[in-house]
């Protein structure tokens, strides 16, 4: 045990109680982030305890990472320092739910699936169909900024988070925004916490706008010979008056990933029948509304698919979607388990440039002999997954070359790319956060302001913030 | 504040004499915005490019002079007033739409582009810029970005921050920075999310990349007429509880309705307690059903009548009534004070009852015309500018209304901004530590405090003091 951790041991217990503190190496291993194991874990039961922990850490110069279900601690760069895991799972209350107002305040340690079931009792939901759905916490979902296919119509969490309470790196408990659906009182500081990997503050409460569950919904799948046709289908649908709730495009390899043994660990029910085929690109889309709307959507989508030369079309009814298609949500976790050295590139481009970006990426991966798969979202986000056969220097070199090619290409398409996941020992030599941005110095100002001692997840974020 | 002649000469050298105003009579126009505040700048300048803005900022720094950006001056909280004098940078000549990318549904605009102009420019392609403040025929997109403006249709489509992807900024320290990106999910902290709605206290915006939104295939506008305010507000609460989100849900009470009808002749009933102006949109197949649902709920809450606009002309007339309502009120009562509090929708009936009680208590006429679906209130407190005693009652009533909004779990401003009008109310919502954090964020970007000083944060003067003053003739105002 290192010297600073010894000091922390009794201090942790003072703040959160003996029973909510652990220094057991066997337990601490589960809190590893980017290969770094903390010296202690504290499970605060209130925002005040979180603030006290942060102040203590500041005084003792200890680095903290707030954790939830610990499903995404490998994202970003490894922390430069990591002494104490602040396990937020005791802060799991649904603090204020006003179904009549469609607003919700929830503590970050609350499981997302549990929260969705509370909302479902009132026929409401949050449009967060995110990876690790059954395990992840609300706070982990927001802090990592993982996205949901429902962003097609509902936007991302920044569009429906109304406010937050959080503790800054100086141990100041603060809030911004509020609980009402429209509010311009004060600066929107809470937007900074979304996707920041806990580098600016530790969230202690998140206020959301909730949404009514649709009366009826269906899923539409069309299969194509080429990526060009699948993305052309996307363009036609987006140009049409239909307003689908999701649009996703999968490459042929995705079918194999979804059918793998690894996939069953995340979602028991396999993807039904011939929905996805290892020979075809798939365009999938969800839509909701009354019977007349659904009939119109199906008719129009079939006609569009035909014009885009689809080789097959399947429509799933509401009762079939969760069973037949639940695995789709877990594409990233499944991909991470499908190779010893999976690297995920997240590419953002203008929507009409998606096929070009995918084509360049696929060509580069093929040239370097690395297996790949794609999941793309209709709004211009591509998850390009590289699945090397080995986790060695040779594979690293090939992945680095592909990433470099992709980053150069998307920069020319007004886009950007990052590598949210890859083997941790590669991170120091891969452009994990992409190319340096012109606004980095403004971000650095914010980090310095919110966390002047650099004790909150130091080094995990963009440019080593 | 005295005019610094060296600064003015420097600005004239930079922009030419015709784009610098410094005479007393020229400046008079820029003392006001749409709020009840006033403050006079030392000089007003009209840049035409990012480089010119940069030059202005550097000069202001050199002379340690405050500066403030301004669009059309329609703001309702004094955000674009030169509270501490200095250089007012008016963006009316940076009014070009630089790029329209129809395929990817984006536009790059200069900050002086008028909100409605952008929608008009892309309408032929079935697109529009969704945020639609009632002042949209005059207000600029730069102003919308500064204030994070809303409007009637933001209920379904979101406010300005939901539609901004990227910005080019001139920092008050004299450098340019681009934040965000045309592609979604730019890596790093959400700087556009922080800068939109920062009320011009972080940076001057010189280019904005916005999303364009498809126009709905079908639209229906309904007017539900009620004989009781309670029934009206219960109807709105019931929409929310049932998960029905109309594209717009506006409430006008009888008092304002009569003022509006005298002005626009839209056929609003003169004898009712309140109306809801409702809009539903979407694909053809959904709109009929939505309209039916909405009408049924209105009827269940004792709506006397639910009218459906038969065509675009009828629809436009109804909306003309709503969007010109403040102007219409101004014709009847030239001085009024408008608030912008927000409450949870479940609290709407109780809040309107409370506002009525407050009006009685202080013997004041209070009209209500507001974004009911969002719970965003706009009580209009009428008064006679010559009556100082009455004006004291106006301030007390206004404070009591805001206090109630906060107690109900709401906020002090939904879309108008804090500016120099509500700064003294900020401690009602935020602790000293929270205000300190927000102040330090401002200071990180605006370290010398030269950009838009004296806004958002309480000045520290006695809280009994108020600057709320009578509004001059507001006949042409529209919000």
Mean pLDDT of chain B: 92
Cβ within 8 Å of residue A154, ≥6 positions away = A127, A148, A160, A211, A245
Radius of gyration of chain B from its Cα atoms, rounded to whole angstroms: 22
Tell me what pLDDT residue A7 has: 58
Inspect the interface and report whether the beta carbons of A415 and B181 lie closer than 8 Å: yes
Taking only residues 359 to 398 of chain B, the set having a beta carbon closer than 8 angstroms to any beta carbon of chain A reads 371, 374-376
Report the candidate in B230, B148, B253, B247 with the shortest Cα–Cα distance to residue B194: B148
Does B476 score more than 50 pLDDT? no
Q: What is the average pLDDT across B189-198? A: 98
Is the Cβ of B21 closer than 8 Å to some Cβ of chain A? no
Q: What is the band of B334 on the pLDDT scale with cuts at 50, 70, 90?
A: confident
Q: Closest Cα of chain A to B174: distance in Å?
A: 14
B153-188 per-residue burial string, b: 16 or more CB within 10 A, e: under 16: bbbbbbbbbbbbbbbbbbbbbeebbbbbbbbbbbbb
Is the Cβ of A188 closer than 8 Å to some Cβ of chain B? yes
ipTM over cut 0.95: yes
For residue A418, report the phi and psi dihedrals to the nearest 5 degrees: -130, 170
Q: What is the band of B34 on the pLDDT scale with cuts at 50, 70, 90?
A: confident
Taking only residues 340 to 399 of chain A, the set having a beta carbon closer than 8 angstroms to any beta carbon of chain B reads 346, 348-352, 379-381
Q: What is the band of A188 on the pLDDT scale with cuts at 50, 70, 90?
A: very high
**Rounded to two decimals, what is the model's pTM?**
0.96
The answer to whether A176 and A186 are in contact (CB under 8 A) is yes
**CA triplet A143, A146, A150: central angle to 5 degrees?**
125
CA distance B399 to B466: 11
The answer to whether B263 and B207 are in contact (CB under 8 A) is no
Does B1 score more than 60 pLDDT? no
Q: What is the band of A22 on the pLDDT scale with cuts at 50, 70, 90?
A: very high
Tell me what pLDDT residue A106 has: 98
Neighbouring CB atoms inside 10 A of B469's CB total: 14
Q: Closest Cα of chain A to B94: distance in Å?
A: 23
Q: What is the average pLDDT across B149-177? A: 96
Tell me what pLDDT residue B460 has: 62
Q: What is the average pLDDT across B267-288? A: 94
Q: Closest Cα of chain A to B366: distance in Å?
A: 22
Q: What is the band of A76 on the pLDDT scale with cuts at 50, 70, 90?
A: very high
For A412-437, what is each residue's pLDDT tens digit?
998 999 999 999 999 999 999 999 99
Tell me what pLDDT residue B469 has: 46
Q: What is the average pLDDT across B403-411? A: 95
For A107-142, what is each residue's pLDDT tens digit?
999 999 999 999 999 999 999 999 999 999 999 999
Q: What is the band of B465 on the pLDDT scale with cuts at 50, 70, 90?
A: very low
CA distance A193 to A201: 7
Does A4 score more than 70 pLDDT? no
For residue A206, report the phi and psi dihedrals to the nearest 5 degrees: -125, 130
For A315-347, what is each residue's pLDDT tens digit?
999 888 887 788 999 999 999 999 999 999 999
Report the candidate in B83, B456, B153 with the shortest Cα–Cα distance to residue A189: B456
Report the candidate in A129, A157, A401, A403 with the shortest Cα–Cα distance to residue A284: A129
User: What pairs with residue B223 in β-bridges?
Assistant: B277, B307
Tell me what pLDDT residue A10 has: 84
Question: Residue B135, SS3?
Answer: coil
Is the Cβ of A242 closer than 8 Å to some Cβ of chain B? yes
Q: Helix axis angle, B254-264 relative to B325-332, nearest 10°?
A: 90
Does B3 score more than 90 pLDDT? no
The alpha helices in B281-347, defined as continuous H runs, are 284-300, 312-323, 325-332
Tell me what pLDDT residue B228 has: 96
Instruction: Supply A50's token pair.
Output: 């979180």
* Option in B105, B190, B415 nearest A191 (CB): B190
CA distance A380 to A417: 12
Is the Cβ of B152 closer than 8 Å to some Cβ of chain A? no
Does B473 score more than 60 pLDDT? no
Does A189 score more than 90 pLDDT? yes
Tell me what pLDDT residue B325 has: 86
Inspect the interface and report whether the beta carbons of B346 and A295 lie closer than 8 Å: no
Mean pLDDT of chain A: 95
Inspect the interface and report whether the beta carbons of B409 and A179 lie closer than 8 Å: yes
Residue A235: closest CA among chain B residues belongs to which residue? B103
Inspect the interface and report whether the beta carbons of B186 and A189 lie closer than 8 Å: no
Q: What is the band of A201 on the pLDDT scale with cuts at 50, 70, 90?
A: very high
Is the Cβ of A277 closer than 8 Å to some Cβ of chain B? no
Chain A contact probe: residue of B188, B238, B439 with most A CBs at under 10 A: B188
Q: What is the average pLDDT across B58-87? A: 96
Inspect the interface and report whether the beta carbons of A172 and B217 lie closer than 8 Å: no
Does B42 score more than 50 pLDDT? yes
| Torsion from C-alpha of B316, B319, B323, B329, nearest 10 degrees | 110
Q: What is the average pLDDT across B164-174? A: 98
- Residues from chain A that touch B429, judged by Cβ atoms under 8 A, are 178, 185-186
Does B46 score more than 90 pLDDT? yes
DSSP character for A367? H
CA distance A312 to A302: 10
Is the Cβ of A324 closer than 8 Å to some Cβ of chain B? no
Tell me what pLDDT residue A274 has: 81
The answer to whether B9 and B20 are in contact (CB under 8 A) is no
The answer to whether A402 and A430 are in contact (CB under 8 A) is no
For B197-245, what is each residue's pLDDT tens digit?
999 999 999 999 999 999 999 999 999 999 999 999 999 999 998 888 8
**CA triplet B221, B223, B228: central angle to 5 degrees?**
150
């Amino acid at each position: 045990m290192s010297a600073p951790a010894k000091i922390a041991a009794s201090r942790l217990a003072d703040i959160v109680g003996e029973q909510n503190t652990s220094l057991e190496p066997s337990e601490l291993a589960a809190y590893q982030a980017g290969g770094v194991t903390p010296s202690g874990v504290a499970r605060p039961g209130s925002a005040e305890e979180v603030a006290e922990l942060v102040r203590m850490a500041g005084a003792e110069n200890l680095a903290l990472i707030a954790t939830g279900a610990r499903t995404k601690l490998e994202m970003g760069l490894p922390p430069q320092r990591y002494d104490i895991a602040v396990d937020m799972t005791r802060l799991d209350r649904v603090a204020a739910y006003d179904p009549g107002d469609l607003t919700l305040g929830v503590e970050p340690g609350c499981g997302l699936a549990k929260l969705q079931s509370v909302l479902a009792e009132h026929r409401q939901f949050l449009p967060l169909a995110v990876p690790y759905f059954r395990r992840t916490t609300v706070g982990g979902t927001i802090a990592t900024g993982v996205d949901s296919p429902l962003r097609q119509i509902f936007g991302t969490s920044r569009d429906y988070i109304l406010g937050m309470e959080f503790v800054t790196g100086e141990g100041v408990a603060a809030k911004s925004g509020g609980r009402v659906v429209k509010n311009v009182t004060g600066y929107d500081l809470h937007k900074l916490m979304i996707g920041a990997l806990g580098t600016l503050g530790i969230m202690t409460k998140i206020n959301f706008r909730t949404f009514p569950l649709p009366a009826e919904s269906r899923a539409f799948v069309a299969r194509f010979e080429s990526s060009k046709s699948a993305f052309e289908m996307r363009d036609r649908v987006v140009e049409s008056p239909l307003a689908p709730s999701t649009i996703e495009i999968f490459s042929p390899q995705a079918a194999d990933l979804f059918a793998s043994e690894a996939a069953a660990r995340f979602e028991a029910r396999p993807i039904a029948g011939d929905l996805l085929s290892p020979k075809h690109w798939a365009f999938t889309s969800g839509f909701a509304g009354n019977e007349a709307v659904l009939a119109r959507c199906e008719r129009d989508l079939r006609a569009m698919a035909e014009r885009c030369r689809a080789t097959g079309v399947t429509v799933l009814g509401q009762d079939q979607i969760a069973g037949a298609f639940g695995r789709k949500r877990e594409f990233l976790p499944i991909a991470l388990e499908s190779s010893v050295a999976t690297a995920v590139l997240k590419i953002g481009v203008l929507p009409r440039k998606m096929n070009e970006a995918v084509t360049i990426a696929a060509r580069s991966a093929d040239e370097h002999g690395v297996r790949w798969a794609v999941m793309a979202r209709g709004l211009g986000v591509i998850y390009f997954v590289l699945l090397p056969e080995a986790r060695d220097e040779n594979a690293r070199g090939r992945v680095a070359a592909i990433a470099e090619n992709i980053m150069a290409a998307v920069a020319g398409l007004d886009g950007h790319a990052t590598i949210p996941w890859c083997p941790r020992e590669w991170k120091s030599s891969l452009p994990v956060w992409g190319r340096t941005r012109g606004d980095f110095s403004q971000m650095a100002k914010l980090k310095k302001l919110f966390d002047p001692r650099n004790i909150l997840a130091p080094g995990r974020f963009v440019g080593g913030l | 504040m005295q005019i610094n002649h060296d600064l003015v000469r420097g600005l004239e050298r930079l922009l030419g004499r015709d784009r610098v105003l410094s005479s007393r009579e020229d400046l008079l126009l820029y003392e006001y915005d749409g709020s009840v505040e006033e403050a006079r700048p030392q000089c007003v300048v009209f840049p035409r490019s990012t480089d010119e803005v940069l030059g202005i900022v550097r000069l202001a720094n050199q002379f340690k002079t405050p500066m403030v950006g301004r669009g059309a001056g329609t703001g309702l909280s004094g955000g674009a007033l030169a509270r501490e004098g200095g250089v007012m940078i008016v963006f009316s000549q940076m009014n070009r739409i630089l790029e329209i990318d129809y395929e990817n549904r984006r536009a790059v605009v200069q900050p002086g582009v008028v909100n409605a102009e952008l929608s008009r420019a892309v309408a032929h392609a079935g697109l529009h810029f969704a945020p639609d403040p009632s002042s949209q025929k005059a207000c600029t997109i730069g102003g919308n970005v500064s204030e994070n403006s809303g409007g009637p249709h933001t209920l379904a489509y979101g406010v300005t921050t939901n539609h901004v992807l990227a910005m080019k900024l001139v920092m008050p320290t004299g450098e340019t920075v681009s934040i965000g990106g045309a592609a979604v999910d730019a890596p790093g902290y959400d700087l556009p999310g922080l800068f939109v709605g920062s009320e011009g206290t972080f940076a001057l915006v010189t280019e904005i990349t916005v999303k364009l939104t498809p126009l709905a295939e079908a639209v229906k506008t309904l007017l539900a007429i009620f004989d009781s305010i309670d029934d009206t507000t219960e109807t709105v609460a019931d929409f929310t509880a049932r998960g029905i989100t109309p594209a717009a849900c506006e409430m006008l009470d009888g008092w304002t309705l009569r003022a509006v009808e005298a002005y626009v002749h839209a056929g609003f009933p003169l004898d009712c307690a309140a109306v809801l102006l409702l809009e539903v949109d979407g694909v053809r197949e959904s709109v009929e059903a939505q309209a039916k649902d909405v009408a049924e709920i209105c009827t269940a809450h004792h709506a006397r009548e639910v009218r459906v606009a038969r065509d675009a002309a009828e629809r436009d007339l109804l909306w003309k009534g709503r969007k010109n309502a403040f102007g219409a009120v101004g014709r009847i009562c030239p001085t009024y004070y408008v608030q912008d509090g927000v409450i949870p929708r479940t609290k709407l009936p109780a809040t309107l009852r409370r506002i009525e009680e407050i009006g009685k208590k202080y013997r004041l006429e209070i009209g209500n015309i507001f974004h009911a679906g969002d719970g965003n209130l706009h009580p209009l407190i009428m008064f006679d500018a010559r009556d100082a005693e009455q004006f004291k009652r106006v301030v007390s009533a206004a404070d009591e209304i805001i206090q109630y909004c906060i107690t109900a779990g709401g906020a002090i401003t939904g879309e108008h901004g804090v500016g120099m009008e509500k700064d003294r109310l900020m401690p009602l919502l935020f602790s000293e530590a929270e205000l300190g954090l927000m102040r330090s964020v401002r200071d990180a970007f605006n370290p010398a405090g030269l950009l838009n000083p004296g806004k958002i944060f309480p000045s520290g003067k006695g809280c009994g003091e108020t600057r709320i003053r009578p509004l001059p003739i507001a006949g042409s105002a529209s919000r």
